[in-house]
């Protein structure tokens, strides 16, 4: 149920249901932390809707209590709305400025700048939209325009640069006088560096993908070669075994054949044989004994009996 419903050309006030009020309160920040961010969030939630004074009274009463709600209305100079529902159907927009000033005086923004959270640049977020979003967050929390205060501007720009990729932040740190530039020029520098960073990142991803593709291709070729070699070896294995068996059979066959080598038997010469051999080499008359022995039929130079006879021992 909407707070104020348009009936033709007339506005009809319909108070919020309990469930609608609870849903809105859950979306609002803590009022005690600063009225500006609370008002900004309320306007964001209720954009396009017509709020009545009765809606604001009920909302503040739920958050702060009836007495605190009355104090704020009195501070805003709206005593006629306190303690009565006669004027609750009147539109809030007629008294918005007075109520907001009273809320900001009662609940000033005491939030430390370090506690103002600026979400980092999104992966696909436009860099110019990122800078604009950071400024809007600052205004919603503090109620101030950071470009009108040098200190707030410096703090906000520092937060903006921390939300950028490290490479972009390093490049911006090299720009002389970046912090004192106008908002438009400052935003141009950020957008330029972000675009360059994303372009290089995109090119690097493509190169990495191409390298991975080539590695997969090489691996596939190597796998095919390995499979082909394994198939060849598998087909040749029976042939090698048969050849080996044939060679073994041939070796076994040769081992049973008689050897054609005649064994050489050596005898140890006696002292007498050595003496005769010495005589045969150095006796000039040794070659004269060419007759045959009558006993053994050998030449005299080869017969032991003949030699012994010639030596006088026969």
Render pLDDT for 153-180 as a digit per residue (tens, 0 to 9).
Answer: 999 999 999 999 999 999 999 999 998 8
What is the pLDDT at residue 121? 95
End-to-end CA distance of the chain: 161
- Same-domain status, 80 and 21: yes
Render pLDDT for 231-290 as a digit per residue (tens, 0 to 9).
Answer: 776 665 554 556 545 655 564 555 445 544 444 444 444 444 444 444 444 444 444 445
- Identify any residues that bridge with 12 across adjacent strands, giving them in sequence order: 5
- Same-domain status, 152 and 170: yes
- How much is the average pLDDT of 7-15? 63
Boundary of a domain, candidates 75, 106, 137: 106
- Same-domain status, 23 and 63: yes
Q: Which of 143, 72, 152 minimizes the C-alpha distance to 114?
A: 152
Domain, as residue range, for 282? 273-310
Establish if 279 belongs to a structural domain: yes
- Same-domain status, 93 and 172: no
What is the pLDDT at residue 140? 80
What is the pLDDT at residue 242? 61
Boundary of a domain, candidates 79, 106, 133: 106
Q: Which of 9-18, 133-142, 217-226, 305-314 has the highest mean pLDDT?
A: 133-142
CA pair distance 32, 56, nearest whole angstrom: 16
- Same-domain status, 100 and 11: yes
Count of structural domains, the chain = 3
What is the pLDDT at residue 160? 95
- Same-domain status, 19 and 87: yes
Establish if 129 belongs to a structural domain: yes
Boundary of a domain, candidates 106, 121, 140: 106
- How much is the average pLDDT of 13-42? 83
- Same-domain status, 60 and 122: no
- Same-domain status, 90 and 118: no
Instruction: Tell me the CB-side half-sphere exposure of residue 228, using CA atoms within 13 A.
Output: 6
Render pLDDT for 114-145 as a digit per residue (tens, 0 to 9).
Answer: 888 899 999 999 999 999 999 998 988 887 88
Kindly indicate the confidence band of residue 59, based on its pLDDT and cuts at 50, 70 and 90.
Answer: very high
- Same-domain status, 80 and 8: yes
The CATH number given to whatever domain includes residue 89 is 1.10.375
CA pair distance 148, 135, nearest whole angstrom: 12
Establish if 218 belongs to a structural domain: no
- Same-domain status, 27 and 101: yes
Establish if 243 belongs to a structural domain: no
- Same-domain status, 133 and 166: yes
Model pTM above 0.75: no
- Same-domain status, 86 and 121: no
Establish if 211 belongs to a structural domain: no
Establish if 65 belongs to a structural domain: yes
């Amino acid at each position: 149920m909407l707070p104020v419903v348009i009936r033709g050309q007339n506005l009809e006030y319909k108070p919020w249901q309990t469930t609608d009020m609870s849903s809105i309160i859950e979306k609002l920040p803590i009022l005690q932390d600063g009225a500006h961010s609370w008002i900004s969030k309320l306007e964001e939630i209720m954009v396009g809707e017509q709020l009545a004074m009765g809606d604001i009274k009920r909302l503040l009463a739920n958050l702060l209590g009836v007495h605190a709600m009355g104090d704020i209305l009195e501070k805003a100079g709206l005593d006629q709305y306190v303690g009565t529902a006669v004027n609750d159907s009147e539109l809030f927009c007629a008294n918005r400025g007075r109520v907001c000033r009273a809320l900001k005086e009662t609940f000033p923004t005491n939030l430390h700048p370090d506690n103002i959270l600026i979400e980092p640049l999104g992966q696909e977020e436009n860099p110019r939209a990122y800078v604009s979003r950071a400024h809007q967050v600052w205004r919603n929390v503090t109620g101030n325009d950071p470009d009108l205060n040098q200190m707030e501007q410096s703090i906000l720009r520092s937060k903006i640069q921390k939300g950028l990729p490290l490479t972009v932040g390093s490049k911006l740190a090299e720009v002389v006088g970046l912090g004192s530039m106008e908002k438009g020029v400052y935003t141009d520098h950020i957008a330029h560096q972000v675009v360059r960073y994303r372009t290089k990142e995109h090119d690097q991803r493509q190169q990495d993908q191409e390298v991975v593709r080539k590695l997969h291709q090489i691996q596939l070729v190597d796998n095919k070669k390995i499979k082909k070699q394994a198939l060849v070896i598998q087909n040749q294995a029976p042939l090698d075994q048969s050849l080996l068996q044939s060679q073994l059979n041939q070796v076994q066959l040769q081992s049973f054949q008689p050897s054609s080598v005649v064994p050489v038997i050596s005898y140890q010469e006696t002292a007498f044989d050595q003496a005769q051999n010495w005589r045969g080499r150095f006796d000039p008359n040794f070659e004269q004994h060419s007759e045959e022995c009558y006993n053994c039929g050998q030449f005299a130079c080869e017969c032991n009996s003949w030699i012994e006879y010639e030596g006088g021992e026969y």
